[in-house]
Amino acid sequence: MFSYDRYLHFRETDAAGVVYFSEVLNLCHEAYEASLRAAGVDLKAFFSATGTTIVPIIHAEVNFFKPLYCGDRIWIDLTLTIPDPNPNSKHDSSISSEFELAYKLYTTPDRSDRPVAQAKTRHVCVTPATRQRQDCSLYLGEWMELLQTTVP
């Protein structure tokens, strides 16, 4: 697990003063980037299409339980799940070419209350030139190790 915290900005709110729904995915992606940086991943190279791997998001979902407002401090806990390779898949079943990140957003540092929101993003690792799936751990092994050992 990886934990990330920050304050919410006015630009992230809607006309009602509540954090706009799509901003929650932006906040989660910000936590994802922070976790990559903490593992020593070169973000410029990682998010460049000229690298050896690209990692698009193929699914995203968000659930809201309580409004968030400008000035709120939030804590985002990010956990990694690597699904078992699917033997019925069209790609090589011996590799883990996908991973899922689960996010829980809290307004208390001790996480004593229910999360105010939860999100998930599913990612797939592919080779840029061929768009063929590849083993995520070949490129993201250190980051995956960090997420499996780090606690908030």
Specify whether the CB–CB gap between 128 and 49 falls below 8 A.
Answer: yes
Name the pairing type of β-strands 2-7 and 73-81.
antiparallel
The C-alpha atoms of residue 45 and residue 143 are separated, in whole angstroms, by: 15
pLDDT at 92 over 80: no
What are 19-61's pLDDT values in tens digits? Answer: 999 999 999 999 999 999 998 888 888 887 677 788 999 999 9
| Percentage of the chain exceeding pLDDT 70 | 89
| Percentage of the chain exceeding pLDDT 90 | 59
Choosing from 14, 42, 92, 113, the catalytic residue is 14
- Coil, strand or helix at 76: strand
> Residue 56: what pLDDT?
92
Specify whether the CB–CB gap between 6 and 73 falls below 8 A.
Answer: yes
Helix axis angle, 21-38 relative to 137-149, nearest 10°? 100
Average pLDDT for residues 81-94, to the nearest whole number?
61
Please say if 14 is a catalytic residue: yes
Average pLDDT for residues 48-75, to the nearest whole number?
91
Mean pLDDT computed over every residue of the chain: 87
Listed by start position, the domains of the chain span 2-149
Average pLDDT for residues 60-68, to the nearest whole number?
96
The C-alpha atoms of residue 145 and residue 38 are separated, in whole angstroms, by: 12
**CA distances for 76 relative to 3, 131, 142, angstroms:** 6, 31, 21
Domain 2-149 has CATH 3.10.310.10: no
**CA distances for 107 relative to 7, 16, 72, 73, 78, angstroms:** 10, 19, 7, 6, 15
Task: Give the number of other CB atoms < 10 A from CB of residue 49.
Answer: 7
